[in-house]
Chains A and B, each alone.
Chain A
Amino acid sequence: MSHKLTDGGQVLHVGTLSRVEGEGGMHLEIHDGHVGAVELRIFEPPRFYEAFLRGRSWTEPPDITARICGICPVAYQFSACNALEDACGVSVPDTIRTMRRLLYCGEWIESHALHIYLLHAPDFLGYPGGIEMAKDHPAAVEQGLRLKKVGNELMTLVGGRSVHPINVKLGGFYRMPTVAELGGLRPALERGLEDALATVRLVSTFDFPDLEQPYTYLSLRPEQGYPIESGSVVTTAGTAFDVRDFPEHITEHHVAHSNALHASLDGGGPYVVGPLARYTLNFDRLSPLAQQAAREAGLGETCRNPFRSIIVRSVELVEVFSEALRIIDAWRDGTAPSVPVPARAGEGFGATEAPRGVLFHRYRLDDDGTILDAQIVPPTSQNQPSIEADMRTLAESWLELSDHDLSHRCEAAIRNYDPCISCATHFLDLTVERT
């Protein structure tokens, strides 16, 4: 809805954003043909995870923080495991790291397929949602649902269920899946890889507005492979730092119009996490098949147009299907499902690549493992300032549009980031505003 301001300007307000995870709205002020205030408003009610984690036991965050987000619970579980294992001075064996990567591939498949087909594609094809889109494009929507289903099946096999998996614990898993069980999923994953390649071809034919985004990208980069379940931090500004130095580089601010804290990098402007950042900083780590799919879709080795994130997400689908098949083929039975993680006093830091970008956890423990302090920085908090900056740039060039069209376009621009507002709300930190 739109209404006039007393000074002759007007305000455009979209009350509830659709096809995003969680509750948000946006607020745009236009004065004399210029864009004034731009606010991504997050009114998802706060749930205070970081407060009630205090006093809990060091073994509990993987199960508890999973409940921050039903779309990316595995991201929370593994960022928590990385941080708590770091605090306790435990490094898990490669077999456990590999099985974590496989479960995480399932979450990327489920989350990316949901976003590409049901949330994002309808913007490009002109439908209010995926279900309406299915009437004219049944094969495409069926392909999307098939992809999503394989992701959920992989998560169910390794994690027990796809929303809030039960098989993850500090130090590893309760039970390892067997070669035979994993082999049973191979045909569906092979079909999924074909569907993922078809997805890249499909979305590359969409019409993309011109927008080159100048922001700094930030992602993880592991010693080898594409960043998923581990790595240290790299940015396009040329900085590189260990995950334990994250709090020194990233500052969070509490602004009045959002229940999600905003983040900034080294005191500078907005920075972006997520598929575009991962891709641009790690193109060389993609499998040859994913690189080829990207090139055929017209992508270079970097991507700075947020609307093209749908292609990058599809290329990442190709990557995680290839990776899942590689892990399954190399898997051997008989490895220990977990290693012990005894409590000790200390502080630990952990980060993984959630489907939407870097998710950071920090915990401080007492010597009996009681949590003294917890900090969680989710990807959507980090992307909020750049989402607002994008809306400002785009709205300036779209001022001639009707309010209806303008709000529709801005909503689509927000969906480029696949924002997860449930994740972004309820986060810390008292320490950030002490200065």
Chain B
Amino acid sequence: MTIQTQALPKLAVWKFASCDGCQLTLLNCEDELMALAGEVQIAYFPEATRAVVEGPYDVSLVEGSVTTPEEIERIGQVREMSRNVVTIGACATSGGIQALRNFGDIAEFRSVVYAHPEYLSTLARSTPISAHVDVDFELRGCPINKHQLLEVLAAYIQRRKPRIPTYSVCVECKRRGAVCVAVANGTPCLGPVTQAGCGALCPAFARGCYGCFGPQDSPNTAAMSDRLISLGMADDEVMRIYRTFNAASEPFRRESERHEPARDEEALT
């Protein structure tokens, strides 16, 4: 049997509208970074190196959401140059916190922050990468989990499917042996409708889950909201708890709209 020497797979890291925290997660793999650099060629990663290796790339990690006309063009180019596109984090997979503009008036947003809105080029909506190009895998989290990132990279290097669970935080919480904060303390917790991945971090710190990883694969948001209200949350609070880092994900968006105060008034009239 002959062993064929192959060129290392080429990895690229791209940034759109984001906080840089998900790509930082790659640099936070302190124990694995040098080993990884031996398994892949880090071909494009401007946050870490000014060296650029020309595409095409085997795996492109894409951080951030699409918020400008220029970004629509650029994500198309990234797709063309990449065999696999993997989006990392809540911005890239659901539009991120900046998708809160989708519920407001972008012209007003611009003028609140900037004295000269005419200098800006901004779209009215913040959208996930998948709204513009085909995406091979979406890794959730605000931020992503380092172990999940390494699993996804290993899967693409080994040409297999990533093993990333899509069940709820509750499963992780039970497995961790944490006390249920909702049952024991009456603390509002989005764990039942949120995808696992963080390791049930918040309940372990006596805090309710606040939805960093977005909706799990079969979320019953209506039942979740009934429970939140029975724990004492007002409608506008229920609306806001869904409207954070994954506000534009379909199940969270729909449920938040059911609790918009204006909508209640409309229903009454």
The chain A residues found within 8 Å of chain B, CB to CB, are 16-23, 44-52, 54, 56-57, 60, 63-64, 67-71, 73, 114, 118-119, 122, 128-132, 134, 141-142, 145-146, 148-149, 152, 160-164, 166-167, 169, 174-175, 253-256, 259, 261, 411, 420, 422, 426-430, 432-433
Q: CA–CA, A426 to B19, complex, Å? A: 11
Closest residue of B by beta carbon distance from A257: B119
Shortest beta-carbon distance from A141 to chain B in Å: 8
Q: CA–CA, A122 to B68, complex, Å? A: 32
Question: Which single member of A16, A164, A169 contacts B21 (CB below 8 Å)?
Answer: A164
Chain B 148-180 near chain A by CB (<8 Å), digits 1 or 0: 000000000000000000000000000000000
Q: CA–CA, A51 to B22, complex, Å? A: 24
Q: Is B18 an interface residue (CB 8 A)?
A: yes
Chain B 16-28 near chain A by CB (<8 Å), digits 1 or 0: 1111111111011
Chain B 88-111 near chain A by CB (<8 Å), digits 1 or 0: 000000001110110010001111
Q: CA–CA, A131 to B111, complex, Å? A: 42
Shortest beta-carbon distance from A384 to chain B in Å: 15
Closest 9 CB pairs of A and B: A70-B21, A129-B49, A433-B115, A128-B51, A18-B50, A51-B109, A47-B98, A149-B30, A163-B143
Shortest beta-carbon distance from A364 to chain B in Å: 13
Q: CA–CA, A51 to B98, complex, Å? A: 10
Given A148-B30, A149-B31, A254-B116: A422 in contact with B20 (beta carbons within 8 A): yes
Given A45-B17, A63-B210, A64-B97: A256 in contact with B119 (beta carbons within 8 A): yes
Query: Is the pair B111, A422 in contact by a Cβ cutoff of 8 Å?
Result: no
27 chain-A/chain-B pairs, Cβ below 8 angstroms: A22-B15, A45-B16, A46-B114, A46-B122, A47-B97, A51-B104, A51-B110, A52-B97, A54-B112, A67-B142, A68-B19, A71-B20, A71-B21, A73-B21, A119-B48, A128-B49, A128-B51, A131-B37, A132-B51, A160-B204, A161-B201, A163-B28, A166-B201, A167-B205, A174-B202, A429-B113, A430-B111
Q: Which residues of A contact B268 (CB under 8 A)?
A: none
Q: Which residues of A contact B244 (CB under 8 A)?
A: 63-64
Closest residue of B by beta carbon distance from A408: B50
Query: Is the pair A146, B113 in contact by a Cβ cutoff of 8 Å?
Result: no
Q: CA–CA, A67 to B20, complex, Å? A: 9
Query: Is the pair A145, B33 in contact by a Cβ cutoff of 8 Å?
Result: yes
Query: Is the pair B31, A114 in contact by a Cβ cutoff of 8 Å?
Result: no
Query: Is the pair A163, B25 in contact by a Cβ cutoff of 8 Å?
Result: yes
Chain B 197-232 near chain A by CB (<8 Å), digits 1 or 0: 010011011110010100000000000000000000
Q: CA–CA, A383 to B74, complex, Å? A: 29
Q: Which residues of A contact B184 (CB under 8 A)?
A: none
Q: Which residues of A contact B101 (CB under 8 A)?
A: 48, 51-52
Closest residue of B by beta carbon distance from A258: B119
Q: Which residues of A contact B28 (CB under 8 A)?
A: 148, 152, 162-163
Q: Which residues of B contact A22 (CB under 8 A)?
A: 15, 20
Shortest beta-carbon distance from B10 to chain A in Å: 14
Shortest beta-carbon distance from A429 to chain B in Å: 8
Chain B 178-190 near chain A by CB (<8 Å), digits 1 or 0: 0000000000000
Q: Which residues of A contact B198 (CB under 8 A)?
A: 161
Closest residue of B by beta carbon distance from A149: B30
Query: Is the pair B122, A131 in contact by a Cβ cutoff of 8 Å?
Result: no
Query: Is the pair A16, B31 in contact by a Cβ cutoff of 8 Å?
Result: no
Query: Is the pair A118, B22 in contact by a Cβ cutoff of 8 Å?
Result: no
Query: Is the pair A70, B143 in contact by a Cβ cutoff of 8 Å?
Result: yes
Query: Is the pair B143, A48 in contact by a Cβ cutoff of 8 Å?
Result: no
Query: Is the pair A16, B42 in contact by a Cβ cutoff of 8 Å?
Result: no
Query: Is the pair B20, A69 in contact by a Cβ cutoff of 8 Å?
Result: yes
Chain B 52-87 near chain A by CB (<8 Å), digits 1 or 0: 000000000000000110010000000000000000
Question: Which single member of B30, B96, B104, B116 contacts A146 (CB below 8 Å)?
Answer: B30
Q: CA–CA, A253 to B104, complex, Å? A: 25
Question: Which single member of A56, A70, A253 contacts B24 (CB below 8 Å)?
Answer: A70
Given A45-B122, A56-B240, A256-B116: A70 in contact with B48 (beta carbons within 8 A): no
Query: Is the pair B202, A160 in contact by a Cβ cutoff of 8 Å?
Result: yes
Q: Is B120 an interface residue (CB 8 A)?
A: yes
Most B-side CB within 10 Å, residue of A20, A56, A57, A70: A70
Closest residue of B by beta carbon distance from A152: B28
Q: Which residues of B contact A114 (CB under 8 A)?
A: 24, 27
**14 more A-B residue pairs beyond the given contacts A50-B113, A164-B143, with a C-beta to C-beta distance below 8 A:** A19-B49, A21-B47, A47-B67, A51-B108, A51-B113, A64-B97, A71-B24, A134-B34, A141-B34, A142-B34, A145-B33, A161-B143, A254-B119, A430-B111
